[in-house]
């Protein structure tokens, strides 16, 4: 049985010569490929222009969308200026102190729920830390648990800023939401508050002395351990007061 002869395979050199010649044709006749495309695909030029236009529009839309994501809400409430602090301290960052206020609030809510007053030592002034320890101590002694289910910070804006004796003092108004309740550890019954969703505001005053800036060791240690979400850069909470009425913050009640 004899094998049928196979047609000779085209040589690589022949293909290279053909490609080279086609390249010359395209170089000598720039509109050649477009002419071929328009013969094979009627209206090719118009369709290509439409596709390119759509791609340009998508790129512009994506750029606008990313620019919107990059925008941060104003750190200050309407009519509030932090110019005095910016003039006194070139490192002052209004968005930074707002973020620190939010971080402190979340840390202390977690500390109250977990009955771990030591978590408040790095965020609070000595006076507030003592109040916080007393509040947690009352929970432990009464076998009650202070809860804020669904706790959220809806908004945070600077409502006051000044320099006092060289110290930077900023008040951040937090708009808060959650269920304020106290449960008995043994029975689980609600002994104070309710499971109704509430909204309230608190003014958190933070103070920093830029002349006594530390080495950053505390920032590194507390962010690495997860206690802080961001570096606090010397800011501590020196006041927490509910807005629009007497009483105390649920943190200290």
pLDDT digits (tens, 9 = 90+) for 7-44: 555 555 555 655 666 566 556 656 555 555 555 566 65
Q: How many CB atoms lie within 10 A of CB 104?
A: 24
pTM reported for the whole predicted model: 0.70
Contact 169, 209 (CB under 8 A): no
Contact 104, 125 (CB under 8 A): no
- In the beta sheet, which residues pair with residue 164? 167
pLDDT reported for residue 41: 61
CATH 3.10.450.240 describes domain 83-242:
yes
Contact 96, 130 (CB under 8 A): no
Please give the DSSP secondary-structure letter assigned to residue 10.
Answer: P
pLDDT reported for residue 109: 92
Quote the CA–CA distance of 174 and 159 in Å, as a whole number.
Answer: 10
pLDDT reported for residue 84: 94
Please give the DSSP secondary-structure letter assigned to residue 230.
Answer: S
Cβ neighbors of 123 (< 8 A, separation 6 or more) are 104, 107, 108, 232, 236, 237
Quote the CA–CA distance of 121 and 129 in Å, as a whole number.
Answer: 6
E strands of the chain, at which residues? Answer: 144-147, 152-164, 167-184, 190-208, 236-242
Quote the CA–CA distance of 232 and 216 in Å, as a whole number.
Answer: 9
pLDDT reported for residue 25: 53
Quote the CA–CA distance of 145 and 138 in Å, as a whole number.
Answer: 10
* pLDDT beneath 70: ranges in the chain: 1-45, 48, 63-72, 213-215, 246
């Amino acid at each position: 049985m004899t094998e049928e002869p196979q047609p000779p395979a085209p040589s690589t050199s022949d293909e290279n010569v053909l490609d080279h010649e086609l390249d010359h044709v395209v170089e000598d006749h720039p509109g050649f490929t477009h002419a071929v495309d328009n013969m094979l695909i009627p209206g090719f030029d118009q369709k290509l222009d439409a596709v390119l236009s759509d791609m340009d529009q998508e790129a512009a839309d994506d750029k606008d969308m990313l620019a919107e994501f990059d925008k941060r809400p104003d750190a200050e409430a309407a009519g509030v200026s932090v110019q005095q602090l910016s003039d006194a301290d070139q490192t002052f960052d209004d968005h930074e102190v707002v973020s620190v206020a939010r971080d402190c609030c979340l840390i202390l809510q977690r500390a109250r729920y977990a009955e771990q007053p030591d978590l408040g030592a790095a965020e609070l002034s000595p006076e507030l830390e003592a109040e916080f320890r007393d509040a947690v101590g009352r929970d432990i002694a009464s076998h009650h648990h202070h809860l804020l289910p669904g706790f959220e910070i809806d908004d945070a804006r600077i409502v006051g800023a000044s320099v006092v004796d060289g110290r930077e003092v900023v008040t951040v108004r937090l708009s808060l939401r959650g269920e304020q309740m106290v449960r008995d550890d043994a029975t689980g019954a609600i002994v104070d508050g309710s499971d109704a969703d509430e909204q309230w505001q608190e003014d958190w005053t933070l103070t920093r002395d830029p002349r006594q800036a530390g080495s950053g060791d505390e920032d590194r240690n507390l962010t690495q351990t997860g206690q802080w979400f961001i570096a606090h850069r010397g800011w501590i909470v020196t006041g927490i007061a509910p807005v629009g009425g007497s009483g105390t913050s649920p943190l200290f009640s």
